[in-house]
């Protein structure tokens, strides 16, 4: 009596197909995790650069050019920022010059906001999300100097 069954060669072929399908899914997940990690790293660098600009701005609130330059220099190791990517806003824009103090009980502050388009390198996510992911980081600091004129 002969038994009808699969030869060991067929089982090896089935295992190879399963490996190919599984490996594809695992590699897609891995590249997605790398893409998210890169975007997060760039976001943290942007936030740190915004903090550097806001810190400088809290002591020199009217020196907008140097606030942007400090933020740009702080991010240059990771990102190539243009000055137009950095925006400085004040809690009381009508106050000229900007100074330390309160308006209706709210301290005068400035906000440094940085925007950056993170280029998507993963092909499938790029088709779904587009060519880039817009990242925005902002930091608000209280203006510490100079004192407002009485």
Predicted confidence (pLDDT) per residue in 49-83, tens digit: 999 999 999 999 999 999 999 999 999 999 999 99
pLDDT reading at 127 higher than 90: no
Buried b or exposed e, range 25-34, using 16+ CB within 10 angstroms: eeeeeeeeee
Mean pLDDT for the chain overall? 88
Q: Residue 41 corresponds to which tokens in the numbers above?
A: 């790293």
Using the structure block, give the residue that is written with the tokens 């220099």: 73
- Enter the pTM of the model: 0.82
**Rounded mean pLDDT of 102-128?**
87
**pLDDT number for residue 23:** 93
**pLDDT number for residue 15:** 84
| DSSP secondary structure of 46-96 | HHHHHHHHHHHHHHSTT-HHHHHHHHHHHHTTT----GGGEEEEES-TT-S
**Rounded mean pLDDT of 115-124?**
86
């Amino acid at each position: 009596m002969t038994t009808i069954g699969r030869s060991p060669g067929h089982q090896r072929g089935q295992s190879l197909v399963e490996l190919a399908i599984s490996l594809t899914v695992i590699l897609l997940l891995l590249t997605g995790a790398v893409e998210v990690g890169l975007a997060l790293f760039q976001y943290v660098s942007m936030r740190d650069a915004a903090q550097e600009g806001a810190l400088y701005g809290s002591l020199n609130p009217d020196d907008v050019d140097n606030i942007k330059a400090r933020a740009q220099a702080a991010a240059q190791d990771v990102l190539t920022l243009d000055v137009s990517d950095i925006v400085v806003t004040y809690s009381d824009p009508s106050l000229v010059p900007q100074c330390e103090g309160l308006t209706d009980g709210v301290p005068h502050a400035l906000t440094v906001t940085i925007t950056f388009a993170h280029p998507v390198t993963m092909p499938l996510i790029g088709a779904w999300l587009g060519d880039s992911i817009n990242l925005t980081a902002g930091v608000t600091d209280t203006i510490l100097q100079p004192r407002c004129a009485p």
